[in-house]
Structure 1
């Protein structure tokens, strides 16, 4: 049952729920047909976000089309400090027989400090409208599922342009982000168990076939910070016709003290304009000034900054 106040909010476009600590279930906000921005903060009593959040059930959300639509205009969704939230349920298609659309306009999703959240529902992973995803301090979230959709022929989040992964401390291997051909910006921070970045991150599958490929075709910004255990970054591609990051312009590596070197494919990116290395002791010695053993590999880059 919808709270009585929702019936009067037919034109509401922006909503923030803040420190509703006694709330154990989110209201059926999917029924707010004009809602474009939703921010949820400090809902410490919520452990499960189920189908009721979508506002779909008997006599579900109405729309002008034959399909039922939850959150028809929502573009911005930010969920923060839901420290007891464990489960975000899949949509149960057995509830009603009509076609259902969920958040068909969503562009931005942030999950911040949802420490117990285990996975994202399939209806989020299958979004073709999502352009920016930020995941921060979600310690047990299954990132592997982000890239392994149950729809095998599809690539989850295929049209995403900006991605931030911060403090996903249980992750040992970075996901195959190279498969997201529209990505323009990647920021990865505090992934404390990652020791190696290789072809898997590039989205390159090992097989006997040799073919020309383009990896990260639109990537412009690449940032790694505070990767305490990261030691190796290796791109192993034998085909000379393969293209790696042809649009890359800006690379920042910060506080990665165990990292031994940067891959040649990265340093040869044709549009690379700025390389920043900060607080990376091994990289500093390897690439610094004219004295570093690999200075010649970066000397062509217009703006190189190596600090401390």
Structure 2
């Protein structure tokens, strides 16, 4: 009837009860139980579901209800998921609920009784239309729920984290923007409302709704991620932001770090965007706070990597991780020559998809604090910098670089002498 699977986020599992669920030792040392129930297609009524006896399992803290993905095989009248979910009532101690592949219109009524529930995740619930009123929810994640349009105001007031993927409507986001005022994390991506570049209802409202949401949470929001939000052009963020990640937002031209909005920025990622966006953001960065930076590829017909950081006036003394993503045409050897002066304490460097670069300059070996160097998909790269035996580099990982692999062959390759003393060398 049911297949019960085991979740193992930290790989420290101990046997628990006869449900074949498992007791999990968390990082903090407290005990929390995660149970995943895979609901098979032949489970079709509330009586069958009740046999799982989830209601008496008081030590379950995170319940995952996952329905078999068989939407294409069922007609409109064949969905019994609402009855089944009503029979899978959990104990009121439940703190986190994940629902996957549910094909009912309404979630089970017992969810409103879960007074300890603080996080709910919905994935691939393509027929679900509304969330029940949940006044204590702090974390809400919705992905690929194409008909979900309505969320009660009461669900928003305690929210700290909102993750929405593949948005088909702005209605949920608009409700959140009117009621949430203490968000710390906002992650938005995909969907018609984000992708459209026309003057439709969805795209015309998206930018203004996001900006309202950013203003009303300007003192609390520390993480903002935008993925494939192609209708958004200008944003203003608040003073508390620590992490800003933007991916595949081709029309986003400006992000204003309001007042002292750059003061605490620790992590910045600008990828698959216009180089002008990088210029506007970099001009506002306080370089002393930034610890992690991801850049590229950039849009447009350009063959040089945009680099708005002047090494003479804009050193990043605390940046320890840098990821650079190139593209087919980019050359940019001068880019690598500036790394040592711009990021003097860099510990991790990842170089990805610079297909026209044939050699890396020796200046990279002068990154005295570098511990990890990872190189991916640089097809024409055949020459590495020489690292002295006294250098701190501990890991060299090279992935899909055929020419370099041949030239770095142990004992016989012409580049082997440059890297032979590095403690860990990995090839893929």
Quick check: TM above 0.5? Answer: yes
Counterpart position of 1:94: none
Describe the shift of the 1:267–1:74 C-alpha distance in structure 2 as closer, same or farther (beyond 3 A). Answer: farther
- Asked whether the equivalents of residues 74 and 105 of structure 1 are also in contact (C-alpha less than 8 Å), the reply is yes
CA-to-aligned-CA distance 1:145-181 (integer Å, 9 cap, x gap): 05751x6xxx545422122235334462252497322
Match status 1:164 vs 2:294: yes
Paired residues of 1:71 and 1:103 also in contact (CA < 8 A): yes
> Displacement of 1:127 after TM fit?
0.8
Look at both structures and tell me which one has the larger radius of gyration over its CA atoms: 2
Distance in 2 of aligned mates of 1:125 and 1:195: 36
> Does residue 82 in structure 1 map to residue 209 in structure 2?
no
Change in CA separation of 1:134 and 1:12 when aligned onto 2, cut-off 3 Å: same
Q: Decide whether the 8 Å contact of 1:224 with 1:252 is kept in 2.
A: yes
- Aligned partner of residue 77 in structure 1, secondary structure: strand
Distance 1:143 1:230 in 2: 25
Partner of 2:91: none
Check conservation: 2:316, 2:344, Cα contact below 8 A: no
Matches of residues 261-276 of structure 1 in structure 2 within 5 Å? 261-264=383-386, 270-276=391-397
For the pair 1:185 / 2:321, whether they are aligned, the reply is yes
TM-score by length of 2: 0.51
- 5+ unaligned residues in a row in structure 2: which ranges? 1-150, 195-201
Given that 1:36 and 1:76 are in contact with CA atoms closer than 8 Å, whether structure 2 keeps it comes out as: yes
Q: 1:156 to 1:193 in 2, by over 3 A?
A: farther
1:222 and 2:349 matched: yes
3-state SS in 1 of match to 2:203: coil
CA offsets per residue over residues 37-86 of structure 1, 9 Å max, x none? 11222333336876774449xxx86xxxxxxxx5211112121221333x
Q: Distance in 1 between matches of 2:260 and 2:333?
A: 24
State how far apart, in whole Å, the 1-side matches of 2:357 and 2:403 are: 12
- Does residue 1:145 correspond to 2:267, yes or no? no
Alpha-carbon distance change, 254 to 148 in structure 1, aligned in 2, over 3 angstroms: closer
Q: How does 1:1-308 map to 2 (within 5 A)?
A: 9-23=156-170, 27=174, 29=177, 32-41=180-189, 42=191, 43-44=193-194, 45-46=202-203, 53-55=210-212, 70-85=217-232, 87-89=233-235, 102-123=237-258, 127-136=262-271, 138-142=272-276, 144-145=278-279, 148-149=282-283, 156-170=286-300, 172-175=304-307, 176=309, 179-198=315-334, 202=338, 216-235=343-362, 244-264=366-386, 270-307=391-428
**Whole-Å Cα distance in 2 between the matches of residues 219 and 225 of structure 1?**
17
How many aligned residue pairs are there? 262
- The 2-side partners of 1:157 and 1:47 are apart by 35
Summarize deviations over 1:80-131 as a string: whole Å, max 9, x none: 221333x115x5xxxxxxxxxx522222222222233234335499512122
The alignment's TM-score, normalised by the length of structure 1, stands at 0.68
Q: Please state which structure has a larger fraction of its residues in helix.
A: 2
Q: In the TM superposition, what whole-angstrom CA distance separates every residue of 1:186-227 from its partner, at most 9, and x where no partner exists?
A: 2223433321333676257xxxxxxxxx65333221112222
1: CA distance between counterparts of 2:240 and 2:298? Answer: 27
Are the aligned partners of 1:30 and 1:54 in contact in 2 as well (CA < 8 Å)?
no
Please name the residue that 1:210 is paired with.
Answer: none
SS of residue matched to 2:255: coil
